[in-house]
Chains A and B, each alone.
Chain A
Amino acid sequence: MSDLLHGEMVHLTAENPEVMGPKLSRWNQDTGWERFLDSDPPRLFSEKNHKEWLERNLEKSDEIFWAIRKLDDDAIIGFMGLFALYPQHGDTLVAIAIGEREIWSQGYGTDAMRIMLRYAFNELNLRRVGLIVFEYNPRAIRSYEKAGFTHEGRVRGAMLRDSKRWDFLYMGILREEWLAQGMMTS
């Protein structure tokens, strides 16, 4: 199956730090995007810093960090990664971000997630994939529900932003659930 990392709208690729560095640097300046993605306070790092961060982190054996590229013009629109990967338990967390705001809500993220789930279950042979999403990101929550994730609980008041408390939502999909949804062939 040579098209394991290809979906209907995007494909996933491994990229050099000098390619992803400038992308991260530009997306990093969209603090709305940062606030959807990260609980760390947004701050601005140089392209150099982003590149060095990538150089340090791309070599971790328990993490994956790939670019999401559109199939039609090969443009890099975001990233997709796995972290806290425990092969001994068959468990991982997944993170996805579409950096190009204009193409949100068009299905690119859902397509990318389907590819990653297929990779996780059919190539890494994991038994579950989990994620954390913020309470104030209903678009992402909807996307993950569509991809087959089930709600597994909430860490109450995990974030204080704009003088309000917000929960972390944990979601997860088990291998048997993914198989039952017939996602293997999509």
Chain B
Amino acid sequence: MAIDTQLFEGKLIRLAPIDHEKDPEVESRWTHDLELMRSLSQRSAMPLSVAQMKKKYEAIEKEVEESKKLFYFTIRGKEDARLLGFIRIEWIEWTHGTGNLRMAIGDRDDRNKGYGSDAMQLILRYAFDELNLYRLSAMVGEDNPGAVRFFKRYGFVEEVRRRKALLRDGQTWDVIHLGLVRDEWLALNERVGHE
């Protein structure tokens, strides 16, 4: 891979900064999809108003700048710059080279179109070849088998099961921690024939 390369340009999407004018309204809508919210966190799903979403974006940028442990990207369509989702590497421990990955494609109709895959390829390359991390984690609820399958496609391996850590709709579910170590990602890429 040439040094002079576009780290944030994918085939269908690009990783982009937050648009404080346009994005709050779009993501506020997503937060009303409580199933999506549940897939992102152990915190209780809660819809956010446009004003609350604006504040959240400001807090994110503040954290990116001050903590130096967070990288946040919006996922936008290459053609129309439409906000499709977000992807973030958080909780980075620089001395250990570790981070946690979290992402979402917000609108149900935008899923299963390859946008998530495109974003994943970019973020993994960024994490391992630019941030030089040793490993990435991802946390998924057992009630979200699609997400487990998604991460496994990129070489993530199940590492921890926090049993019955979730109580939803009267049922308990495990929280699954998955992990991808740099050597595994390199080996996977070699097999797939990445340049």
Contact = CB atoms under 8 A, between A and B. Distances in A.
A42 B127 CA distance: 25
A91 B162 contact: yes
B111 interface: no
Contact of B134 (A128, A152, A157, A170): A157
Interface string B170-195: 00100001010100000000000000
Interface in A144-175: 152-160, 165, 170, 172, 174
Given A127-B172, A155-B177, A170-B177, A160 B162 contact: no
B161 A160 contact: no
B159 A155 contact: yes
Interface in B74-93: 93
A99 interface: no
A172 B163 contact: yes
Interface in A52-94: 86, 88-91
A130 interface: yes
B160 interface: yes
Given A39-B96, A158-B96, A160-B97, A127 B164 contact: yes
Interface in A110-131: 127-128, 130
Sorting the interface of chain A by its residue count into under 10, 10 to 19, 20 to 34 or 35 or more gives 20 to 34
B162 A155 contact: no
Interface residues of B, number: 25
A157 B133 CA distance: 11
Contact of A86 (B43, B98, B177): B43
B165 interface: yes
Contact of B160 (A41, A153, A157): A153
B94 to A, nearest CB: 9
Interface string A36-60: 0001110000000000000000000
A86 B175 CA distance: 13
Contact of A153 (B93, B97, B159): B159
Contacts of B121: none
Contact of A157 (B135, B158, B167): B135
A141 to B, nearest CB: 15
A160 B95 contact: yes
Given A128-B165, A174-B163, A156 B135 contact: yes
Contacts of B163: 128, 152, 172, 174
Contacts of B96: 39, 158-160
Nearest to B158: A153
Contacts of B161: 152-153
A170 B98 contact: no
Contacts of B179: 155-156
A156 to B, nearest CB: 6
Given A89-B165, A153-B159, A157-B181, 16 more contacts: A39-B96, A40-B93, A88-B44, A88-B167, A89-B42, A90-B167, A91-B42, A127-B167, A152-B160, A154-B160, A155-B137, A155-B159, A156-B135, A170-B162, A172-B162, A174-B163
Interface of A: 39-41, 86, 88-91, 127-128, 130, 152-160, 165, 170, 172, 174
19 contacts: A39-B93, A39-B96, A89-B42, A89-B165, A90-B167, A127-B164, A130-B165, A152-B160, A152-B162, A153-B160, A153-B177, A155-B137, A156-B135, A156-B159, A157-B134, A159-B96, A160-B95, A160-B97, A174-B163
